Amino acid sequence: MPDYGLDMTITHRPLGFCYGGEVTGPMPEIRTLDQIRASLRDPNCEGPEQVYAIAMDVARMPDRPELEKRMLLFGVVTYAAGTLGNEPVRSQGHVHRISQHSGWSPPELYEIWQGNAIVYMQEFVDDDPGRCFAVLAGPGEKVLVPPGWGHATISASPDEPLTFGAWCDREYGFEYDAVRARKGLAWYPLVQGKHIVWQHNNHYQPGRLQVITPRRYSEFGITDAPAYQQFIEDPDRLQFISRPDRVAALWLNFHP
């Protein structure tokens, strides 16, 4: 796996992470199949018992004071290979809880490290989900989810594990109730042979799904360098993650 700016190793048996050098982080939290059944199209499906491992607040020791001051946090997630019935391994659909320090539901910047991902997002978790996007991303590519959108990260390569990093607000929180009330997000990803196909969730109004590839978010100052490395180079560059109000105009009519 290429160097993404942090000295760490991903393990898959068991799922987790080993931190090296100056890097510190928590013991990973393991999400089991039983814990996420409520968000799946088929809650009774079979799949890997340990679905994914997540470690929030991974950082180099010298960066910690600056990260805390800026209310920024870097998380790393790794998924098991395999499927959940006829669905790919994925996170639970959610919206980010409004942060008290900013008054905004924070955005999130993903960077794929290993495998292939689909970052699915929709404008609203309401009867009308608004615009819906499935962004197909491979190693090194970045995907930005704007404030307040419902989203989930999906493995697009069931034969191999998916690993990704993400910049988040330090005061992060996940809200699941609105998504669970509608039995998931507006579109279900399904594994069909080597491909992912999409099925509309009839708990939402009919709509259109746009399947796209990542773009460069140059208006936010994001470059092709590894996401964590960009913080090392310029800590202010990623301030919009914890203070999305500073770039409020950029979120209007945002296109991923």
CB-CB contact of 188 with 134 (8 Å): no
222: in domain:
yes
- Structurally, the chain folds into a number of domains equal to 1
48: in domain:
yes
Which two tokens mark 196? 């992912």
Give per-residue pLDDT as tens, 105-122.
999 999 999 999 999 999
128: in domain:
yes
Residues in the chain: 256
**Using CA atoms, how far apart are residues 224 and 230, in angstroms rounded to an integer?**
9
Torsion angle, CA of 162/164/168/174, rounded to 10 degrees? 10
Give per-residue pLDDT as tens, 131-145.
999 999 999 999 999
Q: Is 152 exposed, middle or buried (CB count within 10 Å of its CB: 0-12, 13-18, 19+)?
A: buried
152: in domain:
yes
Q: Which amino acid is at 108?
A: E
Instruction: Give alpha helix (H) positions in 26-149.
Output: 33-36, 64-69
How many C-beta neighbours within 10 Å does residue 52 have? 25
Mean pLDDT along residues 44-59: 96
pLDDT-based confidence at 180, cuts 50/70/90? Answer: confident
Give per-residue pLDDT as tens, 147-173.
999 999 999 988 899 999 999 999 999
Whether the predicted model's global pTM rises above the 0.85 cut: yes
Mean pLDDT along residues 25-37: 93
Give per-residue pLDDT as tens, 77-90.
999 999 999 999 99
CATH number at residue 180: 2.60.120.10
- Measure CA of the first residue to CA of the last residue in the chain; give whole Å: 26
Q: Is 148 exposed, middle or buried (CB count within 10 Å of its CB: 0-12, 13-18, 19+)?
A: middle
Res 2 pLDDT > 90: no
208: in domain:
yes
Instruction: Give alpha helix (H) positions in the chain.
Output: 33-36, 64-69, 177-181, 227-233, 239-242, 248-251
**Using CA atoms, how far apart are residues 133 and 118, in angstroms rounded to an integer?**
9
Which two tokens mark 109? 């910047």
pLDDT-based confidence at 1, cuts 50/70/90? Answer: low
16: in domain:
yes
> Domain span at residue 110?
8-251
CB-CB contact of 77 with 50 (8 Å): no
- Per-residue pLDDT at 37: 86
Residue 175 pairs in a beta bridge with: 95
256: in domain:
no
**Using CA atoms, how far apart are residues 96 and 106, in angstroms rounded to an integer?**
6
45: in domain:
yes
**Using CA atoms, how far apart are residues 127 and 111, in angstroms rounded to an integer?**
30
- Per-residue pLDDT at 5: 87
